[in-house]
Amino acid sequence: MNRIKEVLEQKGIKQKWLAEQLGKSYNMVNSYAQNRRQPSLEDLYKIAEILDVKVKELLTERKAQ
């Protein structure tokens, strides 16, 4: 699970803009934001760099069951 959608909303950034910066389709970025797909580690680092956050801020912790 990731927090990409939350971070985008906090920063007032649109998914379309992130897709352009990342060189990915809007549909791919939307899949990341909706947690239907998870970005590769390489893409996760690129997203963190583009959004000027640490990679850790894009990730959620697993809850113990």
The per-residue DSSP string of the chain comes to -B-HHHHHHHHT--HHHHHHHHT--HHHHHHHHTTSS---HHHHHHHHHHHTS-GGGGB-PPPP-
Domain 4-54: top CATH class: mainly alpha
The predicted pLDDT at position 60 comes to 81
Residue 65 pLDDT class (50, 70, 90 cuts): low
pLDDT, tens digit, 9 for 90 and up, residues 2-59: 999 999 999 999 999 999 999 999 999 999 999 999 999 999 999 999 999 999 999 9
Q: What is the pLDDT of residue 61?
A: 67
Q: Give the domain ranges of the chain.
A: 4-54
